[in-house]
Amino acid sequence: MDFENYSNWNPFMKHIQGEKAVGKKLNVTIHPPNGKEMTFKSEILVFEPSKELKWLGKGPIKGLFEGVHSFVLEDQNDGGTKFVHSERFTGMLVRLSRKMLDKTEQGFKQMNEALKKECENKK
């Protein structure tokens, strides 16, 4: 949830800007592997500091292409934290966007690996 430092470690989500509060808008810039950088607007659905962040990203026409993105931090019995990262895409253009979504999935994997390294470096 430390948007200001994403560019220092995150190879996929290069920049997130906006007020961190439910109902507020975010500008999210991603750079998929072997793809072009894209910026999209989203609306925060859930914001619980150090627990959960969920937003809805959508295109200009309702129902064509939308994605609900979620980061959840779960406390573990051993004192650690589990990071659960997901995105669910819906809309009429999802089937036609398979190539772009494959690149997005690769970007999520790169981001998760980079986050793991970032956390391990801060121990």
> In angstroms, rounded to a whole number, what is the distance separating the alpha carbons of residues 84 and 61?
29
Contact 67, 88 (CB under 8 A): yes
- Conformational region of residue 34, where left means phi above 0, alpha means psi within -120 to 50, and beta covers everything else: left
pLDDT of residue 29: 93
Q: pLDDT tens for residues 21-64?
A: 999 999 999 999 988 898 989 999 999 999 999 999 987 788 88
Q: Is the dihedral of CA 101, 105, 41, 49 positive or negative?
A: positive
Q: Kindly indicate the confidence band of residue 123, based on its pLDDT and cuts at 50, 70 and 90.
A: low
> In angstroms, rounded to a whole number, what is the distance separating the alpha carbons of residues 13 and 38?
10
What length does the chain have? 123
Q: Kindly indicate the confidence band of residue 122, based on its pLDDT and cuts at 50, 70 and 90.
A: confident
Q: pLDDT tens for residues 81-101?
A: 999 999 999 998 888 888 888
